[in-house]
Amino acid sequence: MTRFSLATIAALALSVPASVQAHTALRSSSPASGSVLTQLPSTLTITFLESASLTSLTLVTAAGERQMPFTPTGSALIFVSPKPGFAPGRNEIRWRALSRDGHVVEGSIIVVMRAPRP
């Protein structure tokens, strides 16, 4: 009885770290999703909670879509796309990454470019 209880407790204790080890997620971006900007940012920065490999970064606007270059190419916490060149209006940045646990994670960041007020 006592041995069984100890084994159960040990198994429960071991299961906690396993459940915490989930795939990564986006921690933040700069500009942040939902930003309304009047000036083009010089870079787009994406930060993950745990290191991941960014596999695709696509800019979708009313004019169509194109791939955005980024660095680094390997596994990292922070990825930077230089001169993102957002279009006037709504910009959707679709990202896709490979988490260290082997899962694909994806999402989008919305940035709106608005003309400065005269």
Cβ pair 39, 114 in contact under 8 A: no
The residue type found at 73 is T
Select from 69, 89, 90, 101 the one that contacts Cu ion (CB under 5 A): 101
Q: Does 96 bind Cu ion (CB under 5 A)?
A: no
Contact flag: residue 106 with Cu ion (CB under 5 A): no
Part of the chain binding Cu ion (CB under 5 A), chosen from 5-13, 21-29, 50-58, 65-73: 21-29
d(Cα 48, Cα 56) in Å, to the nearest integer? 14
Binding stretches for Cu ion (CB under 5 A): 23, 101, 103
